[in-house]
Structure 1
Amino acid sequence: MAEIKADTTSDYNVLVPQPGVPDAKPPKPKRVASLDIFRGLTVALMILVDDAGGEWPMIGHAPWNGCNLADFVMPFFLFIVGMAIPLALKRIPNRRLAVTKVLVRTLKLLFWGLLLQGGFSHAPDELTYGVDMRHIRWCGILQRIALAYLVVALVEIFTKSTQAEDLESTQLSIFKLYYWHWLVGACILIIYMALLYGIYVPDWKFTVHNPDSINNGKTFTVACGVRGKLDPPCNAVGYIDREVLGINHMYKRPAWRRSEACNDNSPYEGPFRTNAPSWCYAHFEPEGILSSISAIISTIIGLHFGHVLVNMQGHPSRLKHWLFMGLALLVSGIILHFTHAIPLNKQLYTLSYVCVTSGAAALVFSAFYIMVDIWGFKYLFLPFKWIGMNAMLVYVMAAEGIFAAFINGWYYDSPHNTLVYWIQKHIFIEVWHSKRVGILLYVIFAEILFWAVVAGVLHQLGIYWKL
């Protein structure tokens, strides 16, 4: 008889039917390997697009409208967070304890977000640290995840259904069981759309604070005076962030700097055009306030998929629901974009972007679920599973460059004469006689695969970094 062991390190365990296991003795719940693998893939994608996107702009963030590989990373994270919420909270029957755990985890996410992306850490190239509080960046990846997690987890806790967890009868019953979540999502969407298209955006000014720029200290004026525009300088998302956060507390290198309107080398990084519009020099927050409100919807969709995993006990019923909903979201988003109704835009986190990326997340997860939890091909994806089980460690050390910064701190004669640069140049770039190919292979093997092995060793030792 096949034996299923519960993973005591898991934050989420669920009953996954196993082929060939008799029904006489109910199996213990096991960790959902496909969710770990999906998380690991997403962290690996973040490392890839961040560190190789400069040489391969087609995988980096789209300068404005559109959707490149990098633009799927954030929605995938939010989708995974949503899926994990019902799996984790179902083990905490006490509402007060559940709320406490959610609040504590939210505060941890906010702390690490400010520390890593607020400007204090200058990793991995600058061997300095510290942040001028006049220019600290308040928003970021972990801060957005914290907001989405807090809202969706509290909705889950305070609207938790007491109905039986067996929905084999109809696919629609799960929508009825958790209708409150969709009502919250609809309210969020209405608020977002009303603000995005209803707020009047006036003319605005900003001063360049960049010692390396010839425009340092110069003040520019951006002419707007419009309502409902989704272009870079005059959208409501940027306006709200400038008014609430202050332009000096926003991201200093937005993706629009690589757009054709700003850059001679678009889509690569490069000098601005001599006649570049003034807004090219401004800051823009891709994880800002209004766009983060819209991002909550991605987490609510993930929450629904988590409910399907918890409540539906058969592989066919789960997959039927996931695949149908994933395809419906994907097609809806594509139609909205190509009919020019609502463009795909990660910076604004538009509705079409939510649909396309959430649909893609649904289909990718379903593919992993089939290959890993049904067909049993888990060993093929072990590197991603190890990264997924220690995602916070790999995110901090690799994606945020903390480990590379530590290695760069040990140099010979020049800060650019370090082990990291030596490996990049002599083992990858010079061997392939191409900086683009060399950097890509360096990121794949010396970063992603390296940290997969480290995470695998830590997994064997039972060591995990959890928030």
Structure 2
Amino acid sequence: MAAAAGLVAAVAAALGALLMAPGLSQPDGQGAPGPRGGAAAAERRRSGRMDQALLLVRNELPAPGLNLAARSGSCHQCLYQFLAFVPPSNESLRKPGTASVMVDTQHPLTLLLNSSVGDRDLCKIQYHFGEFGNYSLVVKTLSTSNQTVSCDLIINEGPINSYLPILFAFLVYVGILALLIAGRLLMKIDTVRNWVYKKLNPRATDRMINSELGSPTTTDSINCDPAPQSWSSGSRQRLRSLDTFRGLSLVIMVFVNYGGGKYWFFKHESWNGLTVADLVFPWFVFIMGTSIALALGSMLRWGSSKWKVLRKIIWRSFVLILLGIIVVNPNYCLGPLSWDNLRIPGVLQRLGFTYLVVAALELLFTRADSGTWEGRFPALQDILPYWPQWIFILVLETIWLCLTFLLPVPDCPRGYLGPGGIGDFGKYPNCTGGAAGYIDRLLLGEKHMYQHPSSAVIYQSTMPYDPEGILGTINSIVMAFLGLQAGKITLFYKDQPKQIMSRFTIWGIVMGVISAILTKCSKEEGFIPINKNLWSISYVTTMSCFAFILLLLIYYLVDVKKWWSGAPFLYPGMNSILVYTGHQVFANYFPFKWKMQDSQSHAEHLTQNLTATTLWVIISYILYRKRIFWKI
């Protein structure tokens, strides 16, 4: 069920929008009446832009005119942005001055009207406009004696409900899931199963898909999505929950990379905070660390030397980084790739380097046997034997904190964590990302960084900023190391699911408490806010909290109770590099993309993005049946 987790996260908003959709209002003699009905909605889509509404300002005041400015509710401590000048009314003709503007509908807006002479504020209105809605803002005098001014917002034509496509898609996938469950229940009936096998003559692989044996055995290897072996060296069973978790993260990542239906909550947060798109990359890094712990132990138990394993680690890291720079580099959209505009950081590059550090660190201290530790504190047997690793990670985090808060950045306050642009009331327009942005610009050069950061839309920042930059890679290493800890838990407490689940729960609570302290349980006012662009430590602890809890649930359902096979996320999870690279390379090819009839329709974008994501799930399923797994 492609992108199901993202859709579930948005269903509440869809239902709320269905119940709270604005009604139509047209007071006599006011506003600008417009066409009604479905044809009107189609006409508005053709004439307007997605996530925008039309606002007509009517000024019934005499000279001077008015200035209209706005500030987005998602823009923290931002300057008001000028929208339009509204001329004064013509008293002789009794004709009000008018101006029309397009306003954003993704977030609530604060509108500010003031006099063009003297800069006197007349009114301030907070409102969340609806997509393709038609509104009027009428400014008039209520009392000439004390010059009281009223500002009335009128709905000329109600907006469309842009969340209906999400609700419809969710119901479609739920229906497909119900049919699959019904089919599986029917297959448990001997008569039906024998008849189907007789007609279709399936291969052994088909029967294995829904069996308890798990996925096909692969060769002992370690990479960014290694095939984790079982806890006992003699078994050939896999932890399906790890593949399922990895596949879930990958499916949502593919969906949001394709556009997420052009909904704002399927895009990365402009700066501080979280959206659905901000969840998946750190989860992928986390499960990579978990897989490293299982795969390394397996290889060493099978007699591979540490030098041989280290060579494989270095090679696979190099291939990942090379794939990221050469194959999926986003600067191909600028023309033929050359060193002048080559983006050096990237998702695969960060995965490769993070994998290199964490796998090498684990290789240095891991043992071929993962038996019970005979120390003074057996409850900490997955931590205390590896105290040098923890010291290394703490030193890395200290480096991140020192560079972030103590490094002098030209023309910027020390320890600045903001987006620059119009944020912080426009005081630091060229300080995007503080030390993190400065280090990248200094070491990589502006042309070798990401040119369109998410902060540019809301905060109107102009400086290049790379969300996969150098400084943030330190915290991605910390994220993978926490995933490595989850892998050690499964090794040290093998055949003890209650112990594993209790440890996951404890780690999730600990990470959650640390996040609550760092953020003060707020989006903007914490010591270190949650920020995906910076990969702040609070972002890492928050995503680790979610990862431990989610892995706990999947492990319980898939590997303990076996109530869920892991499908369909299991299949892309076992071919993650192929799916990720393929969805990037073929993103603009049919059937993953086609020319839309109405590019301003969320429904068409959502259909296209869900179709493309579902196709990759189907492709991974076919490869699974044919036992084709791309390992590097």
Normalised by the length of structure 1, the TM-score is: 0.79
Q: Note if 1:97 corresponds to 2:315.
A: no
- Identify which of 386, 390, 398 aligns with 2:571: 386
Q: Note if 1:301 corresponds to 2:301.
A: no
Tell me what 2:355 maps to: 149
| Cα offset, 1:459, TM superposition | 1.0
CA deviations over 1:280-303 (Å, ceiling 9, x no partner): 222101100011112110010001
Q: Note if 1:15 corresponds to 2:230.
A: yes
Q: Note if 1:52 corresponds to 2:259.
A: yes
CA deviations over 1:171-215 (Å, ceiling 9, x no partner): 322111222221111011001001000100003xxxxxxxxxxxx
Higher normalized helix content (fraction of residues): 1
Tell me what 1:342 maps to: 528
Q: Note if 1:237 corresponds to 2:436.
A: yes
Structural RMSD (CA):
2.5
| Cα offset, 1:65, TM superposition | 0.7
Q: Note if 1:333 corresponds to 2:506.
A: no
3-state SS of paired residue (2:394): helix
The one-letter code matched in structure 2 to 1:330 is G
Higher normalized strand content (fraction of residues): 2
Partners of 1:64 and 1:346 within 8 A in 2: yes
Q: Note if 1:420 corresponds to 2:619.
A: no
The one-letter code matched in structure 1 to 2:551 is F
Q: Note if 1:192 corresponds to 2:395.
A: no
Tell me what 1:43 maps to: 250
Partners of 2:297 and 2:366 within 8 A in 1: no
C-alpha distance in 2 between matches for 1:238 and 1:440: 33
The one-letter code matched in structure 1 to 2:240 is A
CA deviations over 1:222-281 (Å, ceiling 9, x no partner): xx2x2111112431000000100011111011010122x32xxxxxxxxxxxxxxxxx22
- Identify which of 432, 454, 479 aligns with 1:255: 454
Tell me what 2:603 maps to: 437
Q: Percent of aligned pairs with the same residue?
A: 30
Tell me what 1:271 maps to: none
CA deviations over 1:330-376 (Å, ceiling 9, x no partner): 23213311361111111111111110011111111111101100111
Partners of 1:192 and 1:293 within 8 A in 2: yes
C-alpha distance in 1 between matches for 2:318 and 2:324: 10
Tell me what 1:209 maps to: none
Partners of 2:329 and 2:343 within 8 A in 1: yes
Normalised by the length of structure 2, the TM-score is: 0.59
Distance verdict in 2 for CA 1:4–1:460, change over 3 Å: closer
Tell me what 2:631 maps to: 466
3-state SS of paired residue (1:334): helix
- Identify which of 270, 283, 287 aligns with 2:464: 283
| Cα offset, 1:118, TM superposition | 3.1
Partners of 2:260 and 2:609 within 8 A in 1: no
Partners of 1:16 and 1:373 within 8 A in 2: no
Tell me what 1:65 maps to: 272
The one-letter code matched in structure 2 to 1:435 is S
| Cα offset, 1:403, TM superposition | 2.2
C-alpha distance in 2 between matches for 1:188 and 1:239: 19
| Cα offset, 1:54, TM superposition | 6.5
| Cα offset, 1:166, TM superposition | 2.9
The one-letter code matched in structure 2 to 1:352 is S
CA deviations over 1:100-141 (Å, ceiling 9, x no partner): 00001001101101023434644xxxxx96213111100000
Distance verdict in 2 for CA 1:44–1:162, change over 3 Å: closer
| Cα offset, 1:5, TM superposition | 7.2
Distance verdict in 2 for CA 1:5–1:54, change over 3 Å: closer
| Cα offset, 1:67, TM superposition | 1.4
| Cα offset, 1:167, TM superposition | 6.0
Partners of 1:81 and 1:299 within 8 A in 2: yes
Partners of 1:383 and 1:449 within 8 A in 2: no
3-state SS of paired residue (1:90): helix
Tell me what 2:547 maps to: 361
CA deviations over 1:311-338 (Å, ceiling 9, x no partner): 2121001010011101221232133113
3-state SS of paired residue (1:227): coil
C-alpha distance in 1 between matches for 2:590 and 2:404: 44
3-state SS of paired residue (1:89): helix
C-alpha distance in 2 between matches for 1:466 and 1:6: 15
Distance verdict in 2 for CA 1:164–1:253, change over 3 Å: closer
Tell me what 2:145 maps to: none
C-alpha distance in 1 between matches for 2:236 and 2:503: 22
| Cα offset, 1:69, TM superposition | 1.3
Distance verdict in 2 for CA 1:142–1:3, change over 3 Å: closer
Partners of 1:4 and 1:28 within 8 A in 2: no
Distance verdict in 2 for CA 1:237–1:13, change over 3 Å: closer
| Cα offset, 1:14, TM superposition | 3.8
The one-letter code matched in structure 1 to 2:590 is I
C-alpha distance in 2 between matches for 1:16 and 1:440: 41
3-state SS of paired residue (2:308): helix
Partners of 1:196 and 1:228 within 8 A in 2: yes
Partners of 1:387 and 1:452 within 8 A in 2: yes
Partners of 1:115 and 1:121 within 8 A in 2: no
CA deviations over 1:377-418 (Å, ceiling 9, x no partner): 333x311101111111111122x1x2243438xxxxxxxxxx
Tell me what 1:183 maps to: 391
C-alpha distance in 1 between matches for 2:215 and 2:257: 35
- Identify which of 322, 325, 344 aligns with 1:111: 322
- Identify which of 588, 592, 597 aligns with 1:405: 588
The one-letter code matched in structure 1 to 2:347 is I
Distance verdict in 2 for CA 1:102–1:114, change over 3 Å: same
The one-letter code matched in structure 2 to 1:348 is L
3-state SS of paired residue (2:265): coil
Q: Note if 1:133 corresponds to 2:133.
A: no
Distance verdict in 2 for CA 1:230–1:6, change over 3 Å: closer
3-state SS of paired residue (1:137): coil
Structure with the bigger RCO (C-alpha within 8 Å, sep 6+) is 1
Partners of 2:453 and 2:466 within 8 A in 1: yes
Distance verdict in 2 for CA 1:35–1:3, change over 3 Å: closer
Distance verdict in 2 for CA 1:246–1:171, change over 3 Å: same
The one-letter code matched in structure 2 to 1:377 is W
Tell me what 2:70 maps to: none
Q: Note if 1:323 corresponds to 2:505.
A: yes
The one-letter code matched in structure 2 to 1:7 is P
C-alpha distance in 2 between matches for 1:457 and 1:117: 24
C-alpha distance in 2 between matches for 1:362 and 1:77: 12
| Cα offset, 1:164, TM superposition | 4.7
